[in-house]
Amino acid sequence: MRRISMLFAVLLCGLAACSSEDAPQKERPSDTAKQESKTLNRGYDGQDPKTAGCDQPPAVDVPGSQVPVRLPNGRKIGTLVLRRSAGCQTMWGRVDGLPEKPSGKDVMHVNVKRPADDASAEFDTPDVFIAVFGDMLTYRPGCVYAEAYVSRVIREGEAKKGPVAKTSCKK
């Protein structure tokens, strides 16, 4: 039976003019992982976690990622936390504990970065109240961290940047 299978393979290859160079090459695992990572990144990088459905349970705060966010004068305005969705394999920053009403003078910046490939997703809004979350990045390939800071408008076209709050890089 084995002899017939080999003969069939030789005949088939002969009809198709096969050579070892034409034979399909099996992808190496590292190539497959890179391609899978690129596919995931295109799907979620820079997306809004709520719109994409990634902020639903079981999305969780990453333990130990809470960092105070301060105004340019040093006063604490909120707390930055790194959020993770295992289902979407993404992370994003969220600033909680903000005032109930926007000041009208502040712009909140919430950014996430993935050092492995220098990817980043930046988000800013003048709606600085209650909670502000940024866009997300996949945590493959590598870890992700969040940054947040407030720019306070001093006068038209001029703002003062507050200190940057930064979480540690997590997977």
Q: Can you give the residue ranges of every domain in the chain?
A: 47-166
Contact 110, 123 (CB under 8 A): yes
Domain 47-166: give its CATH code: 2.60.40
- Residue 117 pLDDT level (bands cut at 50, 70, 90): very high
pLDDT, one tens digit per residue, over 3-62 is 333 333 333 344 344 433 443 333 333 344 344 444 444 589 999 999 999 998 889 999
Convert 83-93 to b/e letters by CB count within 10 Å (16 or more is b).
bbbeebbbbbb
